[in-house]
Amino acid sequence: MEETTPHIHDVHTSLADRDVKPREALSLWFFVGALCLMYGLVLLPVGIYELSHPPAVVLANLHASFWWGLLLTLFGAFYVIRFRPGSGR
């Protein structure tokens, strides 16, 4: 009986043959949302404080800190929830 050495392609399996699940990449939009959420959570309390203690600036009656804080908090929360890791997107 003749023994044959295994061929190199028989010994090594390719990556396609393995049951290895690739890691899911984090979405850039998750980080954009997290950054906007953090800025919003800083601006919103400042804006609430400035409602009762308006700063001595032009157009203080528009309450820009409050509205931008609210907008960034909502925008950031939406994107963090929508593109969170493991959400399938």
Locate the domains of the chain by residue range: 22-82
In the predicted structure, residue 15 carries a pLDDT above the cut 60:
no
Please give the pLDDT value at position 23: 74
Helix (H, G, I), strand (E, B) or coil at 59: coil
Quote the percentage of the chain above a pLDDT of 70.
73
50-59 confidence digits (pLDDT tens): 999 999 999 9
Please give the pLDDT value at position 11: 54
What is the spatial distance between Cα 60 and Cα 63, in angstroms, rounded to a whole number?
6
Identify which has the larger pLDDT, 6 or 58: 58
Please give the pLDDT value at position 61: 95
Average pLDDT of the segment spanning 34-43: 98
Ramachandran sector of residue 63 (left: φ over 0; alpha: ψ -120 to 50; beta: rest): left
**Could you tell me if 33 and 77 are in contact, meaning their C-beta atoms sit under 8 angstroms apart?**
yes
Query: Which of 36, 35, 28 has its CA nearest to residue 83?
Result: 28
DSSP type of residue 26: P
